[in-house]
Amino acid sequence: MHIDWKGVMPAVTTKFTREDTLDLTMFEVNIKAQMNAGVHGIILGGTLGEASTLSTKEKEILSRETLRIVNRTIPVIMNIAEQTTQGAIKAAVNAKKNGVNGLMLLPPMRYKADRRETITYFKKVANATDLPVMIYNNPIDYGIEVTIDMLEELVTSCPNIKAVKESTRDISNITRLKSKFGKKLSILSGVDTLALESLVLGADGWVAGLVCAFPQETVAIYNLIKKGNIEKALEIYRWFLPLLELDISTKLVQNIKLAEVATGIGTPYVREPRLQLIGEERAQVLQIIEKGIKSRPCLDSLAVILEL
């Protein structure tokens, strides 16, 4: 399947049962909610997907289940986040074998690679597959910045590198990337609290987190901006911002899973070493979620506007 790297692409959570097994029933409920809202792709195995805790077999199951559910209507993308080059190559090969349509690729985990090492890593993994690749640039959380010059070398050397998930938190980087690459490289915002600003500045899409619990509102913001109705998009975004801030936290997985439970499309269970929130911390997150749900905007009147 061809991937048009644009639109809203949820980095979905992995649903677990109380017994710490995959909850494929609730996983399907959530994926269908995303599809019904009109998302443009599904990303598996990211930070929100608790990828570092998943076995190779579990990633295979999730890939095949997602492909079955979406039934070729939207692309399925697997995140690759490994410590070694060979491990990343193997993960990419397995992802292709499992039938996914593309890859999101992080720099090496744990080791802070320099420029030459990072470029070599990306090239070797990208050249090991014919799947299209989106580079994930998140120096804040992962300690390695993929600069524009590095991206230029990668795009020149690896024709299957098609997009970048921009998570530097430097909003002006959207303009730099657009000025440098034009249509050669798609740009997707990777920070929920900067998504509207990024889309207004020309980002092609949004790799979203709170979309896991609020898919309709997320897609509505994207569609409204692309139609030029920034005023209405801002109205929804201002309501959404306190919820979106749950994504920029070390406990983002726990936070977003609580939001999914509140909207009826998820489970609260996380895999250790993560633990569910308790006490005052849990109460504060639930308060934000409950306030958001109580004031949730009505999107029914936007039905015509939101159809692209």
Asked if the model's pLDDT at residue 267 lies above 60, the reply is yes
pLDDT at 110: 86
pLDDT at 306: 52
pLDDT tens by residue, 218-266:
999 999 999 999 999 999 999 999 999 999 999 999 999 999 999 999 9
pLDDT tens by residue, 104-140:
999 999 899 999 999 999 999 999 999 999 999 999 9
Supply the DSSP symbol for 124.
H
Q: Model's pTM, two decimal places? A: 0.96
Q: Can you list the domains of the chain with their CATH numbers?
A: 7-306 (3.20.20.70)
* E strands present in 106-156: 133-137
Name the residue with higher pLDDT: 2 or 67.
67
pLDDT at 303: 53
Task: Using alpha carbons, select from 9, 72, 76, 12 the residue that is nearest to residue 39.
Answer: 9
pLDDT tens by residue, 174-226:
999 999 999 999 999 999 999 999 999 999 999 999 999 999 999 999 999 99
Which DSSP helix (H) or strand (E) runs through 109?
none
